[in-house]
């Protein structure tokens, strides 16, 4: 039972919604009819779902999420019912509506939390003996991204241009010729912390509103020239795409799995007593202009992360950095141990050395 924002075709305004099968449910309509009659919603004077984002609902906290989820399960369950007079105004075929950005994202940080991805990229850059940098197993590595260019699924991404250098000495001006995707999980913050007051690792999950799919578009040829010594910049800031649906921790609870043991032992502030993520497949499919159907490039899984989201939040705030409602952190590319589980074309084509052959005999190294 996900939460999102859609453009209501009757009201001609964005409204909060959920989706059940192929039906979009206008939560604004249900809220105004006072159908959310649990102990929290029945007394609040706030209207969460007539807003253009889910930020206010996220900030309300876990108890509101749980109550709403249980109320919706009762209304739309086998023994529940929606008043006939409301069906025409509250229910819409999913194919007929346009989804919007679910959150106002004020700030965004991207991490590098998948061991398999870090190892693969390290092998390509430094060789197998030095693939993993010394700091990587002691802290979640990350960089500050660009929130202003995060867009919802379906928004066109314009191919960037910039400096590239074939010999890593002399630059030329070029369009990006090594365009890549990165298959990631995005985490949306429900409420933040005061500046100077870190979020403790074992309290961090209380600050999570939910999760989105995240595609961190990457201009690899721009990246390899610019990233020394401070890391990604223009290669990442031209666009990142998220799914329109936010999936809450309550919905993902049945898929919870423990992450692998972390060695060497981490510092105390990173010791997560409930080290886990979710056994959820994450897939990448590609369709070129010459193809009729999508071709599956990779199937990864959120369980392949090395660091938990709680550890990333704890490390991000350990200096006293303050988060706000709607802020997002990315997991970094999530890759599995097998070749078909690699979450970027950079890995799938091994830096361009192993072209990907598509079903119609086209080949791709990058997009």
Q: Where are the domains of the chain?
A: 3-99, 108-364
Which superfamily is assigned to 108-364 in CATH?
Fumarylacetoacetase-like, C-terminal domain (3.90.850.10)
Question: Tokens 């950095």, residue?
Answer: 321
- Decide whether 3-99 matches 108-364 in CATH topology: no
DSSP-based three-state secondary structure for 288:
coil
pLDDT number for residue 45: 84
Structure tokens belonging to residue 32: 């105004």
**263: which DSSP letter?**
S
Q: Are 294 and 286 in contact (CB under 8 A)?
A: yes
**Domain 3-99: CATH class, spelled out:** mainly beta
Question: Is the link from the previous residue into 264 a cis peptide, with omega within 30 of 0?
Answer: yes
pLDDT number for residue 329: 98
DSSP H stretches of helix in 192-271? 220-226, 249-252
DSSP-based three-state secondary structure for 164:
strand
Residue 203, C-beta contacts closer than 8 angstroms, at least 6 positions apart = none
CA distances from 272 to 193, 262, 280 (A): 19, 10, 21
Distance in angstroms (rounded) separating the CA atoms of residues 215 and 217? 6
Closest Cα to residue 123, out of 346, 306, 345? Answer: 346
Q: Are 24 and 92 in contact (CB under 8 A)?
A: yes
DSSP-based three-state secondary structure for 199:
coil
Structure tokens belonging to residue 10: 């009757």
pLDDT number for residue 128: 97
Q: What residues are labeled active site?
A: 117
pLDDT number for residue 118: 98
3-state helix, strand, coil in the chain (%, to 5): 30, 25, 45
pLDDT number for residue 80: 84
Question: Tokens 């666009």, residue?
Answer: 239
- Going residue by residue through the chain (367 aa), what tens digit of pLDDT does each one get? 999 999 999 999 999 999 999 999 999 999 999 999 999 998 988 899 999 999 999 999 999 999 999 999 999 998 888 988 899 999 999 999 999 999 999 999 999 999 999 999 999 999 999 999 999 999 999 999 999 999 999 999 999 999 999 999 999 999 999 999 999 999 999 999 999 999 999 999 999 999 999 999 999 999 999 999 999 999 999 999 999 999 999 999 999 999 999 999 999 999 999 999 999 999 999 999 999 999 999 999 999 999 999 999 999 999 999 999 999 999 999 999 999 999 999 999 999 999 999 999 999 999 9
Taking the model in full, what pTM does it have?
A: 0.96
């Amino acid at each position: 039972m996900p939460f999102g924002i859609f453009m209501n075709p009757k009201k001609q305004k964005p409204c909060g919604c959920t989706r059940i099968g192929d039906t979009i449910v206008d939560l604004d309509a249900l809220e105004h009819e006072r159908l959310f009659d649990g102990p929290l919603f029945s007394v609040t004077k706030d209207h969460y779902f007539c807003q253009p984002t889910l930020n206010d609902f996220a900030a309300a906290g876990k108890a509101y999420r749980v109550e709403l989820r249980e109320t919706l399960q009762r209304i739309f369950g086998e023994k529940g019912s929606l008043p006939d007079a409301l069906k025409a105004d509250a229910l819409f075929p999913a194919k007929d509506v346009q989804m919007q950005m679910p959150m106002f994202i004020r700030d965004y940080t991207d991490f590098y939390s998948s061991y398999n991805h870090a190892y693969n990229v390290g092998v390509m850059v430094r060789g197998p003996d030095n693939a993993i940098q010394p700091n990587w197993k002691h802290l979640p590595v990350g960089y500050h991204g660009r929130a202003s260019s995060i867009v919802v699924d379906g928004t066109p991404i314009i191919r960037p241009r910039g400096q590239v250098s074939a010999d890593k000495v002399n630059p030329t001006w070029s369009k990006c010729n090594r365009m890549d995707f990165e298959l990631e999980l995005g985490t949306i913050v429900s409420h933040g912390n005061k500046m100077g007051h870190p979020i403790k690792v074992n309290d961090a999950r209380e600050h999570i509103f939910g999760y989105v799919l995240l595609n961190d578009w990457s201009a690899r040829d721009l990246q390899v020239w610019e990233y020394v010594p401070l890391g990604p910049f223009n290669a990442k800031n031209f666009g990142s795409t998220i799914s329109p649906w936010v999936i809450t921790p309550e919905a993902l609870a049945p898929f919870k799995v423990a992450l692998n043991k972390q060695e060497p032992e981490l510092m105390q502030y990173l010791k997560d007593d409930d080290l886990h993520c979710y056994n959820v497949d994450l897939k990448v499919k590609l369709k070129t202009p010459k193809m009729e159907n999508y071709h599956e490039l990779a199937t990864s899984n959120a369980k392949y992360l090395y660091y938990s989201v709680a550890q990333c939040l704890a490390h991000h705030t350990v200096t006293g950095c303050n988060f706000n409602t709607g802020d997002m952190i990315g997991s970094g590319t999530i890759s599995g141990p097998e070749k078909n589980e690699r979450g970027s074309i950079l890995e799938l084509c091994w830096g361009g050395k192993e072209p990907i052959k598509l079903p119609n005999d086209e080949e791709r190294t990058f997009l």
